[in-house]
Chain A
């Protein structure tokens, strides 16, 4: 087999490098938070509240878990079709994949069913429903 001319080898190397960079660049950005548009209706006045006795770890199917800390108080701020929406002054709440989004907690039937993304106005379901304790 004839040897590949050095210029061709260099060009091939450059093209391979660009391809690798492109593919890996995409890989770093490939995990996104699963979400679907929803309709938020705020509650009038002060909503109902609860305090968590235990810490809860909620996964949305990405590599990152969202932690609800023990002792935090959650106040209802509204509703979406998927459940009641709660926020807390005691901790920040985010969901995370390649990017991070501030969120509120969505509870239905005494279970955490997911998150309401405050800027995107979307619902992100929990991988598993988590009973509140």
Chain B
């Protein structure tokens, strides 16, 4: 194989290897149970494949709950309260939010420019935006 072709293939494999590979979220979502009325639910998702090689851990109040994989999505149930959701690459990016009983919130992970590597930042989005965008992701599972 020519060196240029093998290099290009290597790049493609590296990029695709960073994407979530679980079932389509749209197929998986009917299996998701309704949120316990005493709890709150956070859907965490990262649309698109830009910066796929960067996959920081997602921490909720300091506990690792999953990985911010490109095109990946999962949910995490928590008691009502105050939460900090963060990722760490070159820097730590944080989102703070307050959850009430029965709340269902959507947190999207975006990619911004960094010095050596891109930054993955969490942002709170409207449910109408989150429910639409998450359908194009793959279920990547939470760390339990």
Interface positions of A (Cβ within 8 A of B): 20-21, 24-25, 28-29, 91-92, 94, 96, 98-102, 117-120
Tally of contact residues, B, Cβ under 8 A: 23
Q: Which of A24, A101, A117 is B115 in contact with, Cβ under 8 Å?
A: A24
> In chain B between 60 and 98, which residues have their CB closer than 8 angstroms to a CB of chain A?
82-84, 90-98
Query: Min CB distance, B136 to chain A, in Å?
Result: 20
Interface of B: prevailing SS: strand
Q: How far is the CB of A22 from chain B (nearest CB, A)?
A: 10
Where the two chains meet, the residues of B that have a C-beta atom closer than 8 Å to any C-beta of A are 82-84, 90-98, 105, 114-116, 119, 121-126
Assuming the contacts A94-B123, A119-B83, asked whether A29 and B96 have C-beta atoms less than 8 A apart, the reply is no
Choose from A21, A91, A100 the contact partner of B95 (Cβ within 8 Å): A100
Complex Cα gap A120–B97 (Å): 9
A102–B122 alpha-carbon span in the complex (Å): 12
* Closest B residue to A69 using CB positions: B126
**Residues B119 and A28 in contact, CB atoms below 8 Å apart:** yes
